[in-house]
Chains A and B, each alone.
Chain A
């Protein structure tokens, strides 16, 4: 991972913690490939909406909630980093 990618990775982990009120965990506790929703970190559908909103606000990108691949972008931190990078470049 390049340096900007590493920063984005840390930034997104912190955004997950802050926007979802995960007060008892830190960015190091979230693995890049850990499943965020359902299994893994154990987040739910309200978290998905909240995180989607936080990412749109933070990175100034638009997320289409109905698009088929949106669910895949939210699989884990690695997929979110790839998604935000691609959208910011576009």
Chain B
């Protein structure tokens, strides 16, 4: 069992940017926009932001405000599918027997986002990129709790998924829309997370990070996320 405080959160999806937008989303009054768009990251110099993919832009958009004023902030980055538009572009070039774009290639790896984060913020704290199955949110939380336990005063957790290219959509059914959720975690006991053997619980109807956000905004203090190997039990003690 682990316990943490979630001191702040920030989320982005097409059409859902402000806290009020997300509140309306949580109560079912608005949905994410179907229009493809990327968040504004004009707080970064143009020369730096030009190479950022939609995934990286989303991660920066939710992480940057949370990291404001904090130095030595470890980062745990979670994405199940990663840079699917980049990898699809590279595979398409290979199929056409064309030379691969060095930029696409160098930024297609799973830890590219944390590498860019480190360069652009001059941040040298520990950073981890995780790809788990459907419970990456909880695995990222475990990793962050370990860093807090090691003495970090705060840890940034970012969960981000981009909408996959059309060619992959038949197989990727857990990204209802592109989204990123950032959480600033500190030591504490407000949230308690425990796991038990996989129970016969239906899978969450949303990716776990979004399900957590909806539960939080709706003031729900206990909920369950079932993963492939175990069931995660969330408890909030306000």
Asked if B166 CB lies within 8 Å of chain A CBs, one says no
- Is the Cβ of B50 less than 8 Å from the Cβ of A23? yes
- Is the Cβ of A21 less than 8 Å from the Cβ of B50? yes
A53–B104 CA distance with the chains assembled, in angstroms: 12
- Is the Cβ of B46 less than 8 Å from the Cβ of A53? no
- Chain B residue with Cβ nearest A42: B47
The one of B47, B51, B99 that contacts A53, using a Cβ cutoff of 8 Å: B99
- Is the Cβ of B101 less than 8 Å from the Cβ of A50? yes
Q: Quick one: CB contact mask for B95-109 with A, threshold 8 Å, 1 for yes?
A: 000110111001000
Q: Which residues of A contact B106 (CB under 8 A)?
A: 46
A57–B102 CA distance with the chains assembled, in angstroms: 14
Q: Which residues of B contact A1 (CB under 8 A)?
A: none
Interface size on A, residues (CB 8 A): 13
**Chain A nearest CB: distance from B53 CB in Å?**
11
- Is the Cβ of B102 less than 8 Å from the Cβ of A22? no
Number of A-B contacts (CB under 8 A): 26
A50–B106 CA distance with the chains assembled, in angstroms: 11
- Chain B residue with Cβ nearest A56: B99
Known: A21-B50, A21-B51. A49 touches B102 (CB 8 A): yes
Q: Which residues of B contact A53 (CB under 8 A)?
A: 99, 101-102
- Is the Cβ of A46 less than 8 Å from the Cβ of B47? no
Q: Which residues of A contact B50 (CB under 8 A)?
A: 20-23
Asked if A39 CB lies within 8 Å of chain B CBs, one says no
- Is the Cβ of A24 less than 8 Å from the Cβ of B46? yes
The one of B46, B47, B98, B102 that contacts A50, using a Cβ cutoff of 8 Å: B102
Q: Which residues of B contact A57 (CB under 8 A)?
A: 98-99
A86–B102 CA distance with the chains assembled, in angstroms: 26
A26-52 CB contacts (< 8 Å) to partner B: 42, 46-47, 49-50
- Chain B residue with Cβ nearest A22: B50
Q: Which residues of B contact A22 (CB under 8 A)?
A: 46-47, 50
A80–B50 CA distance with the chains assembled, in angstroms: 23
B42-70 CB contacts (< 8 Å) to partner A: 46-47, 50-51
Q: Which residues of A contact B99 (CB under 8 A)?
A: 53, 56-57
Q: Which residues of A contact B51 (CB under 8 A)?
A: 21
Q: Which residues of B contact A21 (CB under 8 A)?
A: 50-51
Known: A20-B50, A22-B47, A49-B102. 16 other contacts (CB 8 A): A20-B103, A21-B50, A22-B50, A24-B46, A46-B102, A46-B106, A47-B103, A49-B103, A50-B101, A50-B102, A50-B103, A53-B99, A53-B102, A56-B99, A57-B98, A57-B99
The chain A residues found within 8 Å of chain B, CB to CB, are 20-24, 42, 46-47, 49-50, 53, 56-57
Closest 3 CB pairs of A and B: A49-B102, A21-B50, A24-B46
25 example contacts (A-B, Cβ-Cβ < 8 A) are as follows: A20-B50, A20-B103, A21-B50, A21-B51, A22-B47, A22-B50, A23-B46, A23-B50, A24-B46, A42-B47, A46-B102, A46-B103, A46-B106, A47-B103, A49-B102, A49-B103, A50-B101, A50-B102, A50-B103, A53-B99, A53-B101, A53-B102, A56-B99, A57-B98, A57-B99
